[in-house]
Amino acid sequence: MKENQSTKGTLRRRRTNKQVQADILSAVGRILQEKDFTHITLMDIVREAKTDPNVVLRQFGSLEQVFDCYIRTIDYWMHDLFGNEALKRGERSALERMFARMTDFLYNSPEMQRLLVWEITDVNDTTRRAAANRETYYREAYEAYERQFARGGEKTPFRQIASLLIAGTYYLVLHRHTSTFGDMDYDTPDGPVRLKKVLHEILDMLYERLERPQRVSEAIRRLKERGVDEQVIRECLKDL
């Protein structure tokens, strides 16, 4: 009986391929708490996952494929942020939530921060694929808003403005440990709050520009109802 128990104790639990892959990817995540992608080796992953090099290569084929699969697991937030129907309909509140949640996610994800640094510092097939995949989400999310902001006489280049806001958020989050930026310290507990407030104010300005022609038309209508000559109204408004 003792021999059977001893033998049973030495048997390793047989894991499915899915479990093995999950363990390996979890190991990559733990390593990224301390190292950049460029410094991670196959043996780092083997040691952290307590497995064998052949197991990693059998499951993924190469270190590059390990990174590709891992990046897909941390890029899930893109689908969560950009895949909702309210954003696709072009709702203002959805856009505001998207920027706020993106800021919170970046602050709280060292893995995503390391991925962004890798994309900037090392152009390779993996970083190209990761960036291209993210661009697909941006492109789909922008469509409804581009149509909105293309209305009227004052066409606003929404795609370019949104790109600058996203890129600026990336940079401020990544740069925050180095120094202040524009005399603002984003490496504080209220750093995300400050950044989200600025993003909200910029979006307010965008929508104010979008809604201005409608407000002007409404003002003209109401003044005409009160008997003010239309020519006088337009003279007063021409420099606004």
Asked whether the beta carbons of 162 and 98 are under 8 A apart, the reply is no
Classify residue 33 by its DSSP letter.
T
Choose the weakest-confidence range: 21-30, 123-132, 133-142.
133-142
Query: Within 13 Å, how many C-alpha atoms sit on residue 78's CB side?
Result: 19
Q: What pLDDT shows up at residue 12?
A: 53
Residue 6's pLDDT band (boundaries 50, 70, 90)?
A: very low
CA–CA distance, 110 with 29 (Å, rounded to integer) = 9
Read off the pLDDT of residues 22-47 as tens digits, 9 standing for 90 and up. 999 999 999 999 999 999 999 999 99
Residue with tokens 């049973």: 8
pLDDT in tens, 93-126: 999 999 999 999 999 999 999 999 999 999 999 9
Q: Rg of the chain's alpha carbons, rounded to an integer?
A: 26
CB 116 within 8 A of CB 32: no
- pLDDT-wise least confident of 68-82, 157-171, 215-229: 215-229
